[in-house]
Amino acid sequence: MLKNNGHDSFWGGVIHSMGIVFGDIGTSPIYTLTVVFTLTPRTEESVLGILSLVVWTMLLLVTVEYAWLAMSLAYKGQGGEIMLREILSKKLKSGRKLAFAGFLAFLGVSLLLGDGAITPAITVLSAVEGMLLIPGLENLRLEILIVIAIAITVGLFALQSKGTDKVARIFGPVMMCWFICLAATGLISIVTMPGILKSVSPYYAIEFLAKNGMAGFFVLSEVILCATGGEALYADMGHLGKKPILHAWYFVFAALLLNYMGQGVFAIQHPEVKSLLFGMIQNQASFLYIPFLLLTVLATIIASQAIISGIFSVVYQGITTRIMPLMKVEYTSSQIKSQIHIPVVSGLLMCAVILMILIFQRSGNLAAAYGMAVTGSMTITGLMMVMIFSQIKMLRWKLPVAVVVSSIAFAYFISTLSKLPHGAYWALVLAAVPLTLILIWTKGQKHLYNSLRPLDLETFLISYEQIYAKGRNIAGTALYFCRDQKMISPYIVHSIFRSNIIYERNILISINRTDEPFGVKVHLNQDIAPGLESLDIQAGYREVLNIEGLIKEYGIQEKVIFYGVEDIITRNPIWRIFDLIRRITPNFVQFSKLPPSRLQGIVTRVEM
């Protein structure tokens, strides 16, 4: 985590935050007003109304909801909906409220994962479409633009397995240049019509909504595009810390506002131009258009990279908190612990992004389907904050603000329902996949654990000591993995009692994730019973574990490693899907990369 004490680290934190956190929201000016003004006439009155809505949307749903409210709810320095669930689990007694909070968190995470397929598609497509304004390329065929967009997408995902920490150093400076360009071009345009600055007044937003009725309300479904990516302020807090992100946001906020207002002036002065940002740049300095277009492509790649890295981080959080099945994880940096690559997620996400590009073909079409997942996620975050503030006396003064912000987010979500016929259902389809997986996995794991009926340690020791005392023990050391050392897994009972497999030294190994993101504590207890020891590993939920290395550190030279394999017998279609997920995802030993020559799986048949 970056420390922001001192002049250099202050700017270092700000620039680094721009590269990691603000790619998504920072590239919104490419398409937001262009899409809004395809539905709205470009009169001065309507432009002032739209700009006022943009200003207050970013102020309320990004600055107030995420920068002020959500970021005050860090859990062990971490942010995101899974962390809000952890805060609530400490405050609420088990019951309906806690179950509801858990479901909200699962739904929020799923919407975020689904959105991860739509956002890179719209950002890359909108940047590629800027080529149409290059002299001589005005009639470039749509198919060629799609191929270029897919090529950029494939290239971006191909980079993931190599690791992005080497090129990540340039992300911050590139995004800094991007925001400076946005601010400068906006200012140049504002100078020609300074009266546009009065759109900061909420009067024009209220007037626009009052005069346009339901049509004005549904325009909110396009205005929300200016705030997409706002959730990254809270979600990425664990990477960088609160202060660098907040400092960077105030700069980014100013740059975005200046650019949106500049585009508003350009929209009034040039009503015939469709693509506002690119048209404005070409009008101001046509000789700089191609360099700006290249900078735009770089910014969209960085934005997409930030989204992909964020999704890997959320999935890894899900794996370690046991709400998702184990998946193969590759660690692509020896310096940065958070630099990971999950091949199955990367492959599925790439296919989903390409599918979105092929289905929608134009950024305008995608924008017509975009926003539902974002507003849904904002509403869920707001609801969870309301639940938390109502439980903590010291923070109860924030409750009315959280209620107002949640209500506004919900209003935006309702407005996006108008997009359902235009493809917004894809956001729900994409989110339904991880949500179904999470619900089946969490319920299945709980049901399986109850069906296994583990044996308590005291009862186990009575029979264990009798068998061990016979002296027919196999020379060497055996390792047994179990979830909890006080409850002995059935496969261990089966191995020692029924199969009479007992070694001179038997070690029970349990691995538990702590509330802290990083850190490893190991405790070896050699006094459980003759020939029976336990090794308890407590690791941070984002910690990368080298289990084999930890075992060797304690001088343990294992002869065999036992682990349990459950053979599920069921007629229930839900549990059949659960069983299928377990079969196609890595088991614990595959995930932990233990030496295969010493592994011995013991099958336990379980009825569910």
Residue 594 or residue 459, greater confidence: 459
Q: From residue 105, how far is each of 239, 267, 290, 377, 587 by CA, in Å?
A: 20, 40, 43, 9, 25
- Least confident range from 266-270, 392-396, 461-465, 586-590: namely 586-590
Quote the DSSP letter at residue 543: P
Strand partners, 144: none
Residue 559 or residue 198, greater confidence: 198
Most confident of 260-269, 308-317, 594-603: 260-269
Gap between the Cα atoms of 143 and 120, Å rounded: 18
pLDDT of residue 166: 58
Mean pLDDT over 420-442 rounds to 91
Closest CA to 138 of 35, 278, 36, 42: 278
pLDDT of residue 495: 86
Confidence grade of residue 262 (pLDDT, cut at 50, 70, 90)? very high
Q: Could you tell me the pTM of the whole model?
A: 0.83
pLDDT of residue 8: 44
Confidence check: pLDDT of 336 > 70: no
Gap between the Cα atoms of 278 and 293, Å rounded: 8
pLDDT of residue 593: 72
Phi, psi angles (nearest 5°) of residue 528: -70, -50
Query: 326 and 319 in contact (C-beta within 8 Å)?
Result: yes
Residue 606 or residue 152, greater confidence: 152
Q: From residue 93, how far is each of 87, 96, 357, 442, 460 by CA, in Å?
A: 12, 9, 45, 19, 32
Confidence grade of residue 515 (pLDDT, cut at 50, 70, 90)? low
Confidence check: pLDDT of 454 > 90: no
Confidence check: pLDDT of 218 > 70: yes
pLDDT tens-digit series, residues 115-131: 888 888 988 898 888 88
Confidence grade of residue 76 (pLDDT, cut at 50, 70, 90)? low
Residue 131 or residue 177, greater confidence: 177
The tokens of 123 are what? 């950002």
- Which fold, 7-433? Amino acid/polyamine transporter I (1.20.1740)
- Least confident range from 91-100, 269-278, 465-474: namely 91-100
pLDDT of residue 514: 75
Sorted by sequence, the CB contacts under 8 Å of residue 6 that are 6+ apart come out as none
Quote the DSSP letter at residue 322: T
Confidence check: pLDDT of 607 > 90: no
- Longest CA pairwise span in the chain (Å): 95
pLDDT of residue 338: 56
pLDDT of residue 2: 39
Strand partners, 607: 569
Helical spans, DSSP H, in 392-482 = 399-416, 425-452, 457-469
Quote the DSSP letter at residue 439: H
Confidence grade of residue 98 (pLDDT, cut at 50, 70, 90)? confident
Gap between the Cα atoms of 221 and 563, Å rounded: 52
Exposed/middle/buried for residue 480 (C-beta within 10 Å: 0-12, 13-18, 19+):
buried
Question: Looking at domain 453-607, does it have CATH number 3.40.50?
Answer: yes
Exposed/middle/buried for residue 574 (C-beta within 10 Å: 0-12, 13-18, 19+):
middle
Confidence grade of residue 101 (pLDDT, cut at 50, 70, 90)? confident
Q: From residue 68, how far is each of 59, 175, 475 by CA, in Å?
A: 10, 23, 62
Helices and strands, number each (H, E), in the chain: 24, 10
Closest CA to 344 of 373, 324, 369: 324
Residue 17 or residue 542, greater confidence: 17
Confidence check: pLDDT of 419 > 80: yes
pLDDT of residue 77: 67
The β-bridge relationship of strands 520-529 and 503-514 is unpaired
Mean pLDDT over 483-511 rounds to 86
Gap between the Cα atoms of 178 and 299, Å rounded: 7
The tokens of 235 are what? 């979600």
Which of helix, strand or coil describes residue 268? helix
Query: 161 and 234 in contact (C-beta within 8 Å)?
Result: no
Annotated domain spans of the chain: 7-433, 453-607
- Least confident range from 132-136, 172-176, 324-328: namely 132-136
Q: Percentage of residues in the chain with pLDDT exceeding 90?
A: 33
Q: What is the mean pLDDT of the chain?
A: 86
pLDDT of residue 307: 84
Mean pLDDT over 433-449 rounds to 91
Query: 35 and 273 in contact (C-beta within 8 Å)?
Result: no
